Each structure stands twice: as structure tokens, then as C-alpha cells.
């Protein structure tokens, strides 16, 4: 049996479990590059919307960092910064709507875009936000557990002291290795579940299970390009967060618009 026949059987098997599941197209590295170029073009066409949603995202990260400092747990700033990109796809819903309107030639207006985002609370997209926040919570719980198990014997009360322990002690190196492995696994799970499910739920009247299953199928159809896209998103978001979250004001809108165009390349029109 050739590969196309096997792929057809796998698709029919999934459709038997989830009737009406959208088709999925394979993408290449060239499609990733085209999506990034289109995302940058959308940001230039509607910079005010991009800067607004990017500022909201950056402000959220800054508030979390300041709150952790005030609560005297500054060593959690780095784990939070690592996990913060996990909730980025939900924040980018407004950017997806801007790109959707631009491709249709519709007029952009603040009431229209913000009203659309607010209306999502009554749809399946609200459950997707719960999934993202739950995985973020699991990530933070695992970090606290690793700190207790690996660094429990060491004393640190400030961020510089924590950084010194992590970078100069065997326990710190073990913590870094285990922490990044756990983070990578959780990020891969959430990326596979959400890479196309968020824009799919935003655009179509589907249930969350079908949307997440379609997203996983999209990753399995093009594993190398999709994982490459995940790495690009993670590195750019972390670079934006490293600049006291200021860089996210530009990084998030470009990636948000690009994700919409990548979704268009993966999911054929209904």
C-alpha cells in the first residue's frame, strides 16, 4: 500500500470519529516564509491594531513580572517568561480578525474588531482559552515542583542569587535541563492543539475537539515545517520578552497575522 493510500485510510478513520472534520494541506518551509512576509505586510497595513494588541500582550507580561517581584518570588519571572508564549494564540484573536478583514477587503473599525473579540466568549473559543491557561498552570506547577525537588537545599531570596545558583551549581544545571525538557513537552502539546484550532474556531462553527484534532493533523501532515514554525515563534517571543516585554509590541502582531496566513495555507476554504 502506497503512502497516499495510507494517508487516505488515516483521514477516513479520523473522519469516522469526528464527522465533518476539515481537510488539511501539507505545507513547506516556503509557505512558512510566505506567511511571515504576509504577516509583516498586514502589520504595515493596519499598524494601529497590531500595536494595540501587542501592547496588551506586553503589558500582561510586565504586570506578571512586577507582581512576582512584589510577592517576593522574583525567581519565577524566568519560568513565567518561558511559559508566557503558551497563551499567545488566544491573545492574537483580534489580529486574526484584522487579517481576515484585510483579505476580504472589509473596512477596519475598532468597534467591529473589538466587538468580534468580545463575542468569542460565547463560542467554543472560550474553552480553548481554558485549555491554554490550564497548560500554563501545569507548567508553573511543574516549575515549583522542580524547584522544591532539585533546588530545595539551596537558599535564594533574590533574582540575582537564583540566577547565580542556576548557572554555577550542579543542582542549577540539572534544574535547567529538566525544566526545559518539561517546558518543551508542554509547548509541543499546546502548539499541536492550537496552531490552527484557534483561527478555525474563530472562523467556523465547530466544536473544540474537532478543532484540536484538526490542528494535530496539521502538525502530523507537515511535521518538520510546523515544528520549525513553532521554534521561530518561541524564539521571537522570547527575544521580545527579553527586552522587558517591549519587543512583544511588534513581535506579537507580526506573528499573529502570519499565523492567520499559515492557517489559510493549511486549511482549505469551507
13 occurs within a structural domain: no
Q: Is the pLDDT of residue 13 over 60?
A: no
68 occurs within a structural domain: yes
Q: Is the pLDDT of residue 139 over 60?
A: yes
Q: Which residue, among 206, 20, 210, 213, has the nearest Cα to 123 in the 3D structure?
A: 206
**Rounded to an integer, what distance in angstroms lies between the CA atom of residue 91 and that of residue 150?**
33
The pLDDT score that the predictor gives to residue 112 is: 94
12 occurs within a structural domain: no
181: its cell numbers: 525538557
* Range among 61-70, 112-121, 150-159 with highest mean pLDDT value: 112-121
Count of domains observed in the chain:
1
**Rounded to an integer, what distance in angstroms lies between the CA atom of residue 138 and that of residue 93?**
23
196: its cell numbers: 490552527
14 occurs within a structural domain: no
11 occurs within a structural domain: no
Alpha-carbon torsion 240, 166, 170, 147, what sign?
A: negative
3 occurs within a structural domain: no
Please write the tens of the pLDDT for every residue from 90-125. 778 999 999 999 999 999 999 999 999 888 888 888
The pLDDT score that the predictor gives to residue 20 is: 67
191 occurs within a structural domain: yes
pTM for this prediction: 0.84
Structural domain span for residue 87: 24-266
67 occurs within a structural domain: yes
Q: Which residue, among 94, 117, 55, 92, has the nearest Cα to 233 in the 3D structure?
A: 92
Report which secondary-structure segment, H or E, holds 194. helix 170-194
44: its cell numbers: 504595515
Amino acid at each position: 500500500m502506497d503512502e497516499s493510500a495510507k494517508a487516505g485510510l488515516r483521514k477516513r478513520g479520523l473522519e469516522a470519529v469526528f464527522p465533518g472534520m476539515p481537510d488539511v494541506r501539507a505545507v513547506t518551509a516556503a509557505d512558512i516564509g510566505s506567511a511571515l512576509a504576509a504577516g509583516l505586510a498586514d502589520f504595515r497595513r493596519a499598524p494601529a491594531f497590531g500595536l494595540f494588541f501587542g501592547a496588551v500582550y506586553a503589558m500582561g507580561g510586565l504586570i506578571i513580572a512586577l507582581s512576582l517581584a512584589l510577592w517576593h518570588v522574583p525567581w519565577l519571572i524566568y519560568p513565567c517568561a518561558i511559559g508566557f508564549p503558551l497563551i499567545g494564540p488566544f491573545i492574537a484573536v483580534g489580529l486574526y480578525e484584522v487579517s481576515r478583514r484585510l483579505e476580504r477587503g472589509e473596512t477596519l473599525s475598532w468597534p467591529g474588531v473589538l466587538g468580534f473579540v468580545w463575542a468569542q466568549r460565547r463560542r467554543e473559543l472560550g474553552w480553548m482559552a481554558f485549555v491554554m491557561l490550564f497548560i500554563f498552570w501545569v507548567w508553573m506547577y511543574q516549575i515549583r515542583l522542580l524547584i522544591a525537588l532539585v533546588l530545595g537545599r539551596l537558599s535564594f531570596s533574590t533574582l540575582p542569587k537564583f540566577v547565580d545558583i542556576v548557572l554555577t551549581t550542579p543542582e542549577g544545571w540539572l534544574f535547567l535541563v529538566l525544566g526545559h525538557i518539561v517546558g518543551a513537552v508542554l509547548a509541543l502539546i499546546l502548539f499541536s492543539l492550537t496552531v490552527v484550532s484557534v483561527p478555525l474556531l474563530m472562523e467556523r462553527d465547530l466544536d473544540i475537539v474537532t478543532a484540536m484534532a484538526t490542528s494535530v493533523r496539521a502538525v502530523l501532515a507537515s511535521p518538520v515545517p510546523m515544528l520549525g514554525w513553532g521554534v521561530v515563534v518561541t524564539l521571537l517571543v522570547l527575544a521580545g520578552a527579553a527586552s522587558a516585554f517591549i519587543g512583544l509590541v511588534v513581535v506579537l502582531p507580526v506573528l499573529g497575522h502570519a499565523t492567520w496566513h499559515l492557517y489559510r495555507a493549511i486549511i482549505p476554504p469551507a
